[in-house]
Amino acid sequence: MNETIRVTGVCGSLRPESHTKMALAVALRGRVGVRGRHSPHRASELRAGVLRPGRRGRLSAGCPPASPRDGIILATPEYHGSLSGALKNMLDLMAADEFERMFVALVGMAGGHTGTINSLNTMRAIGRNLHCWVLPQEVSVANSSSAFNEDGTVTDPTIEERLLNIGRQVVKSASVQQKIRGEDFIKMWEGLPTW
């Protein structure tokens, strides 16, 4: 199969030059070699520009090619121990069938030194309820104000590699799924016994 793997990044921060947006841009660079358009969207853009009013949780037919279909990277700043309201609102407006069987990677940004364990755990729980496959790898960046230079480059090579790896993992997982996504796999998956 030689189909395009489409990966979309959704930024939960509404600030134009946010560190969350910078981290998401790095993570999306990790999917190099994937064909198709890829651009980070803010949660407010997806809510206002892609969701069709009146149809709860449905992406409009006119949505950009970067709309989520194979993989998605959700990035959020941690506000008061949870994900941003903008990202939560977008996820609340979407139905499970928009995420079902899609691979989702998580990135969290914190202004403090403790990281984003709460927001990442909350997003993981939301992912389970949306019936997507949340990757076990995730990135939590503490002290976000010192994690990036003004031009958006990462100050710590270890953090940069973790962000790039998240992008690669989404593509890798979606590629494997695409290769075995045929009806035979779906029938086999649904026919597996439950214990």
138: nearest Cα among 105, 169, 109? 105
pLDDT of residue 161: 95
For 24-38, 74-88, 113-127, which range has the lowest pLDDT when averaged over its residues? 24-38
Is residue 42 over pLDDT 90?
no
Q: How far apart are CA 2 and CA 179, in angstroms?
A: 9
Stretch 23-46: mean pLDDT: 64
Q: Which domains does the chain have, with CATH numbers?
A: 7-191 (3.40.50.360)
Cβ-based burial of 155 (10 A; exposed 0-12, middle 13-18, buried ≥19) = exposed
Q: Residue 160 pLDDT more than 60?
A: yes
DSSP string, 57-116: B-B-TT--TTSSSSEEEEEEE-BTTB--HHHHHHHHTB-GGGTTT-EEEEEEE-SSSS-S
Angle between helices 85-92 and 117-129 (to 10 degrees): 10
Name the pLDDT band for 46 (thresholds 50, 70, 90): very low
Predicted structure pTM score: 0.78
**Three-state SS for 164?**
helix
Comparing CA positions, the residue from 143, 136, 157, 147 lying closest to residue 114 is 143
Give tens-digit pLDDT for 57-81: 444 333 444 344 688 999 999 999 9
User: Three-class SS of residue 148?
Assistant: strand
